[in-house]
Amino acid sequence: MATVAIESDVLVVGGGLAGLTSAIAAARAGCDVRLVSYKQSTLRNASGLVDLLGYTPDGDGPLTDPYAAIPQLPDAHPYRTVGVEAVRRAMELFDDSVPEYRGDHTEVNALLPTHGGTVKPTARYPAGASAGLASDGRDVLLVGFASLVDFDAPQAAAHLRATGVPFDVRGVTLEFPGDLNADAKVTRYAKLLDADGEVTVDGHQRSVRDALAERVDAERSGEARVGFPAVLGDSDPAAVRAALRGRLDADVFEVPMGPPSLPGLRLEDALFAALDDAGGRYETGNPVVDYDGTDRVETVYVEKNGARIPQRADQYVLATGGLVGKGVESDRERVYEPIFDCHVDHATDRYDWFESDAFGDHAFARFGLATDDDLRPTDSDGAVEFENLRAAGSVLGGYDFAAEKSGSGVSVATGYTAGQRAAEEAR
């Protein structure tokens, strides 16, 4: 091979929550870490809430104490593989890496409003969502914007009332000040608020924050908390919230929405910054397409501008995501892991991959890799596929993160553990 390989102690494949956590963990342990990621991370789809465990696999919940429930999970669950203490340490790493998050004062779950008007259990939440806690008794005014179809404040408020929240909640729909296009992206709102840009209201130039606060204030009847769709700033959300809080004399929070999710993207930015601080290197936008090695992974190949660039490390972490992130793929006959072809257990008949109810106990939701105690993927006989390859996050199988509300927690816990173990081995 003519090209000299790029070398590192630990190479992490995948730039989502699991990959970033794993890279941060390995870098903080003193390793030379490199992270490669391909497409936009699935964090843009994520609410930005960091759930640990909200429901048991049997559907019991919402759970108040996720840590107490972990030892009762099935043996194959990734939390059981890493153990409850590792989950705690992983969350400490997360808290330390992402100071913009809240919830670390307790091991008890929080309930937060969703954009459809339910509440959901979660363990950590952005500071910007914290005034929205559903166990806080203060009344809430939800504010929606006429053109933002992902959040209908009157409907969300009515739905929240139906869940029995311990406060009064009302919803109003306002026109966002300024002349935004009806299909303006959430980032358009956020950037305008970041910059506190000038908008024209009734023929007068106003600051957008002033104009928005004024419209909200006209609708408010004493509610101590005001919730908005998650568009309150992209680069400096704390400043946007502080400004609105000051003008409204009320606490301000954001309700997370679907993709593209600003809280998810902000979390991604914060984690990349933490990786930077820890001394990790990363490159994004290029896929890992192949590897060399039999019992060990010797080299992986990253495709860049049509060329195959070799990258070599002592230890590898596979954090390429599940079906959504394309770390697990399928065709009509089989389900597979596309880079290393690690074994993915699945029924041969694809009509056994799903249930007939939309929220049934779908087998596909648990598709992914099985591992040994050290998070190393195993083949159909339970033998380790590669002695220096660990897997973390949604590429793992054996749990239904959507039903359990455990996706972020599993990514953080397995990412942390895989990064730690890789760092120990690489020394």
The residue within the footprint of other proteins, chosen from 234, 251, 268, 337 (CB under 8 A), is: 251
Stretch that binds other proteins, among 26-34, 52-60, 87-95, 273-281 (CB under 8 A): 52-60
The residue within the footprint of other proteins, chosen from 44, 161, 188, 215 (CB under 8 A), is: 161
Q: What is the dihedral of CA 231, 234, 236, 240, to 10 degrees?
A: -20
Query: Applying CB under 8 A, does 218 fall inside the site for other proteins?
Result: no
Instruction: Extract the tokens encoding 137.
Output: 């008794």
Measured from the CB atom, the residue of 26 and 344 that comes closer to other proteins is: 344
Query: Applying CB under 8 A, does 39 fall inside the site for other proteins?
Result: no
Q: What is the CA radius of gyration of the chain?
A: 23
- For CA atoms 252, 257, 261, 263, the dihedral sign is positive
Measured from the CB atom, the residue of 309 and 395 that comes closer to other proteins is: 395
Q: How far is the CB of 422 from other proteins (least distance, A)?
A: 27
Query: Applying CB under 8 A, does 187 fall inside the site for other proteins?
Result: no
Query: Applying CB under 8 A, does 362 fall inside the site for other proteins?
Result: yes
Query: Strand 101-102 and strand 125-126: pairing?
Result: antiparallel
Edge-to-edge strand ranges of the sheet holding 169-174: 169-174, 140-145, 225-229, 251-255
The residue within the footprint of other proteins, chosen from 281, 330, 338, 384 (CB under 8 A), is: 330
What is the size of the binding site for other proteins (CB under 8 A)? 101
Q: 357 exposed, middle or buried (CB, 10 Å; 0-12, 13-18, 19+)?
A: exposed
The residue within the footprint of other proteins, chosen from 6, 89, 258, 283 (CB under 8 A), is: 258
Q: How far is the CB of 342 from other proteins (least distance, A)?
A: 18
The residue within the footprint of other proteins, chosen from 91, 111, 244, 302 (CB under 8 A), is: 111
Query: Applying CB under 8 A, does 351 fall inside the site for other proteins?
Result: yes
The residue within the footprint of other proteins, chosen from 16, 27, 37, 51 (CB under 8 A), is: 51
The residue within the footprint of other proteins, chosen from 177, 178, 407, 419 (CB under 8 A), is: 407
H or E, element range at 28:
helix 17-28
Instruction: Extract the tokens encoding 186.
Output: 């959430």
The residue within the footprint of other proteins, chosen from 85, 96, 249, 341 (CB under 8 A), is: 249
The residue within the footprint of other proteins, chosen from 364, 386, 399, 416 (CB under 8 A), is: 364
The residue within the footprint of other proteins, chosen from 16, 103, 409, 415 (CB under 8 A), is: 103
Instruction: Extract the tokens encoding 365.
Output: 């939701």
Query: Applying CB under 8 A, does 235 fall inside the site for other proteins?
Result: no
What 3-state DSSP class applies to 279?
Answer: coil
Query: Applying CB under 8 A, does 137 fall inside the site for other proteins?
Result: yes
Instruction: Extract the tokens encoding 404.
Output: 């359990």
Stretch that binds other proteins, among 268-276, 337-345, 351-359, 416-424 (CB under 8 A): 351-359
DSSP 282-347: EEES--EEEEE-SSS--EEEEEETTEEEEEEEEEEEE---STTTTSSEE-SS-EE-TTT---B---
The residue within the footprint of other proteins, chosen from 12, 134, 201, 370 (CB under 8 A), is: 134
Closest to 392 in 3D by CA, of 4, 1, 26: 26
Instruction: Extract the tokens encoding 122.
Output: 């979660």
The residue within the footprint of other proteins, chosen from 175, 276, 379, 424 (CB under 8 A), is: 175
Q: How far is the CB of 388 from other proteins (least distance, A)?
A: 29
What 3-state DSSP class applies to 411?
Answer: helix
Q: How far is the CB of 9 from other proteins (least distance, A)?
A: 32
What φ, ψ does residue 371 adopt, rounded to 5°? -135, 170
Measured from the CB atom, the residue of 236 and 283 that comes closer to other proteins is: 236
H or E, element range at 75:
none
Measured from the CB atom, the residue of 102 and 304 that comes closer to other proteins is: 102
